[in-house]
Structure 1
Amino acid sequence: MADSPRLPGVLSRLGVRRGGVLMVHSSLRGTGQSPTAIRNALLDVLGPDGTLVVPAFTPENSDTSPQYQCRTEGMTGAEKAEFRASMPPFEPDATPCTTMGALAECVRTTPGAFRSAHPQTSFAALGPRAEELLAGHDPHCHLGERSPMAALYGADAQVLLLRVGFEVCTAFHLAEYRMTPTPPTRTYRCVVEDKGNWIEYEDLSLFDGDFAAIGARLPQGLRAEGEFAGKPMFLFEMRDAVDTARRLMSGYRWEMA
């Protein structure tokens, strides 16, 4: 597949900052483009001083995730125990992030990429600020103040939704951690380092069921809209989006509880 001659121009017109930090969520199905071509287009627009970040989540290595519940549905107790015992541990340098799409896996496997160490909600990045932004990801903090999400906020990152909607906008999760009052927590478990080595920790009870509605309520001035391969794309400043989402969530989520 040939590199797209159009995407760099579309991204530049949309307002991607050269030399900036860009977090991308994407769906490439139906584009006719390889993930390598899309990665190269993004890096071309960002330039040598820019940093490209993607979520490299691995929910399938947890027995407290919806993905695990789906995969074990209908199994007997013995079958579930056998399945759980066979689950491979998270290895930052090797565990694929297939549920996050072809571009995320392409970035993760690109020579020189850096990946954060959280066993369920890691990030991968390419560029001069990759390690700075992703290092120190607390394994007990998914997407809060001790995660790359807070570092991206501090770095004035932009977020690009490439042919996906706001329902997958993980930046809104940082707003959950900053809500007033603080949301409840729950227990998470995942397997790390060696097969059968399970860790358990408490973290925020994350919820994304209202992300599409929050995105629809972002003021038009806070987001730029375009189109690529027949589907929409959105570009916005992470700080604006997180701050707006925090205000919205703080205003109505507790009324819904």
Structure 2
Amino acid sequence: MDEEALLKRSGGPVTRGRLVRDLRALGLADGDVVMFHTEMSALGYVAGGPQTVIGALREAVGERGTLMVTCGWNDAPPYEWSTDWPADWQAALRAELPAFDPVLSEADHNNGRLPEALRRWPGAVRSRHPDASFAALGAAADALMADHPWDDPHGPDSPLARLVAHGGRVLLLGAPLDSITLLHHAEALADAPGKRFVDYEQPVLEDGERVWRRFHDIDSQDGAFDYSAVVPEGTWPFEVIARDLLATGKGLRGPVGAAESFLFEARDVVDFGVAWMEDKLR
């Protein structure tokens, strides 16, 4: 969408001041620890782009607050490289693929512009896990990101679990309901049959040395569960779970810029998600 169309959609430029007013009207407050997901085009024409959005979020949560995003690793090797690729391709990758570096490795472009912008922000902290890395900025950033477990990186003691423990919140700024990464934590915790896992290798830095490490996690790419029997065809499972949560009266909804936005309590998302999965997937 071009700038003129975005300007018309948002009724003029979406400035930092306008975003702060909208965020506070939605319910974001000083001291909040908030994981956010953003679809920039949905907000309208944001004057200043990601810098403006992050600046507005920082102003809304204040010095005591913390912002968090999901990053991943844009240049991570595909899971199937070590099994499906020809031997010479595997050898080349194993010999020369750069190790994941929390400072240098780009966030997954599929997550939009904001995660990459935030992880590069002065003072931001990124977790050490390559495939499931997160980044945070603010008072609780170190506590959220430290010692991200190598295995089960969406489970207990993950940055997602710590978000819940810190009384955190989840903010969707024009992002679709299926983008709630925190529901992967619910998948990791849910006691339901047929849970799917993946094992894969990626290079990381240990004491300054590049080493290949093996990881074990829920299948967050293709789905930790087969939801086909309980979710309408063509619908994302997390969207269904989020809509069912909203139907209980949990969560706040309102405009931010030109976008319909949502604010959830992290504890509500996880508790409801676990209960939903354990009930529907039995």
User: For this structure pair, what is the TM-score category when the shorter chain's length is used for normalisation?
Assistant: 0.7 to 0.9
Q: Does 1:216 align with 2:243?
A: yes
Q: SS where residue 232 of structure 1 aligns?
A: strand
Contact 1:88 1:195 in 2 (8 A): no
- Cross-structure match for 2:140: 129
Relative to structure 1, is the Cα distance of residues 81 and 108 closer, same or farther in structure 2, using a 3 angstrom cutoff? Answer: same
Shift of 1:85: 4.8
Find the aligned partners of 2:106 and 2:93 in 1 and give their Cα distance: 19
Shift of 1:90: 0.5
Shift of 1:3: 3.8
Find the aligned partners of 1:14 and 1:217 in 2 and give their Cα distance: 20
Contact 1:24 1:52 in 2 (8 A): yes
Shift of 1:50: 0.6
Q: Does 1:205 align with 2:219?
A: yes
- Cross-structure match for 1:32: 45
One-letter amino acid of the counterpart of residue 172, structure 2: L
Map Cα deviations across residues 74-116 of structure 1 (whole Å, 9 max, x no partner).
x876556545654322101111104222111111111111111
One-letter amino acid of the counterpart of residue 45, structure 2: G
Relative to structure 1, is the Cα distance of residues 196 and 131 closer, same or farther in structure 2, using a 3 angstrom cutoff? Answer: closer
Shift of 1:162: 1.0
Q: SS where residue 106 of structure 2 aligns?
A: coil
Shift of 1:230: 3.3
Q: SS where residue 75 of structure 2 aligns?
A: helix
Relative to structure 1, is the Cα distance of residues 32 and 59 closer, same or farther in structure 2, using a 3 angstrom cutoff? Answer: same
Contact 1:25 1:164 in 2 (8 A): yes
One-letter amino acid of the counterpart of residue 133, structure 1: L
Q: Does 1:106 align with 2:134?
A: no
Map Cα deviations across residues 33-68 of structure 1 (whole Å, 9 max, x no partner).
210000000000001111111111116313317xx7
Normalised to the residue count of structure 1, the TM-score between the two structures is 0.86
Shift of 1:202: 2.1
- Cross-structure match for 1:13: 25
Relative to structure 1, is the Cα distance of residues 180 and 45 closer, same or farther in structure 2, using a 3 angstrom cutoff? Answer: same
Find the aligned partners of 1:201 and 1:114 in 2 and give their Cα distance: 22
* Contiguous gaps of at least 5 residues in structure 2: 1-12, 225-235
Find the aligned partners of 2:156 and 2:86 in 1 and give their Cα distance: 39
- Cross-structure match for 1:248: 276
**1:1-257 superposed matches below 5 A:** 3-29=15-41, 31-33=44-46, 34-58=49-73, 60-64=75-79, 78=88, 82=92, 85-99=95-109, 100-181=111-192, 183-193=195-205, 197-206=211-220, 207=223, 209-220=236-247, 221-254=249-282
Relative to structure 1, is the Cα distance of residues 16 and 188 closer, same or farther in structure 2, using a 3 angstrom cutoff? Answer: same
Contact 1:24 1:162 in 2 (8 A): yes
CA RMSD across the alignment = 2.6
- Cross-structure match for 2:6: none
Contact 1:63 1:84 in 2 (8 A): no
Find the aligned partners of 1:156 and 1:181 in 2 and give their Cα distance: 26
Contact 1:8 1:42 in 2 (8 A): yes
Shift of 1:227: 2.6
Relative to structure 1, is the Cα distance of residues 195 and 210 closer, same or farther in structure 2, using a 3 angstrom cutoff? Answer: farther
Find the aligned partners of 1:84 and 1:252 in 2 and give their Cα distance: 41
Bigger mean CA offset, 236-245 vs 212-221: 212-221
* Contiguous gaps of at least 5 residues in structure 1: none
Shift of 1:169: 0.6
Q: SS where residue 69 of structure 2 aligns?
A: strand
Find the aligned partners of 2:14 and 2:255 in 1 and give their Cα distance: 19
Contact 1:27 1:101 in 2 (8 A): yes
Q: Percent identity?
A: 30
Contact 1:108 1:125 in 2 (8 A): yes
